[in-house]
Amino acid sequence: MQSACSACVRAVRLIHTPHQVAFAAFLSFYLVKVVPYWGLAVIGTTVVFFAPLVYTSNQELIDNQLKQAGDLVNSQTAQLRSAAQKHTEQATHLTQQYLGDYTAKAQSLIHGARPQGEQAKPKTSRQTAGLKTTDFPVAPTEDFKFEPKVDVPPVSLPELSKTKTTETEPLLPVL
């Protein structure tokens, strides 16, 4: 009993790659459209009980094929990883080189525009825009004066008992 359960679990684990899952979803999508539900139940039950039998009878062959496929995937992944690392290192080196060149160029432009020992006065924004001080209003020089608080007498509300209520219209719509 133990070996049958473990074989069943191993057979269920066979479908685990994204391609196999996509194929199974595609197949089941079209099977649902064509085959009635009772037919799907018969097919599912058959697969559940026969998959472990097929796996146990061909276990060496299936395991060997899975091992070869895993080795192939691992070697391709390692090759891809090394190529990506090589290209990343080249791009990083090139970026650092460009960054150093542009930094040196910017520093030479800054130092070339302003000779050492002489500080050039930067123009203010008013001088560059051609604005005059008469174009703007005069700013206040003294503090704001606050007006004193005015006491407002409280307003009395009419009592609710004195008001007439009409019951012709409900306040909320009746559903």
**26-54 average pLDDT score:** 89
Separation between Cα atoms, residue 77 and residue 81, nearest integer Å: 6
SS (H, E, C) 23-67: HHHHHHHHHHHHCCHHHHHHHHHHHHHHHHHHHHHCHHHHHHHHH
**145-169 average pLDDT score:** 64
Angle between helices 59-113 and 37-57 (to 10 degrees): 100
Q: How far is CA 24 from CA 29, 50, 164, in A?
A: 8, 17, 75
pLDDT band at 76 (very low <50, low <70, confident <90, very high): very high
pLDDT band at 159 (very low <50, low <70, confident <90, very high): low
Separation between Cα atoms, residue 131 and residue 166, nearest integer Å: 68
Higher pLDDT, 164 or 157: 157
Q: What is the pLDDT of residue 120?
A: 52
Question: Average pLDDT over the chain, rounded to whole?
Answer: 78
Q: What is the pLDDT of residue 25?
A: 86
Angle between helices 18-34 and 37-57 (to 10 degrees): 140
**144-161 average pLDDT score:** 68
Domain boundary assignment for the chain: 1-57, 61-112
Higher pLDDT, 13 or 1: 13
8 Å CB contact between 83 and 43? no
**81-87 average pLDDT score:** 94
Task: List, for residues 108-130, the tens digit of each pLDDT value.
Answer: 888 887 655 555 555 555 555 67
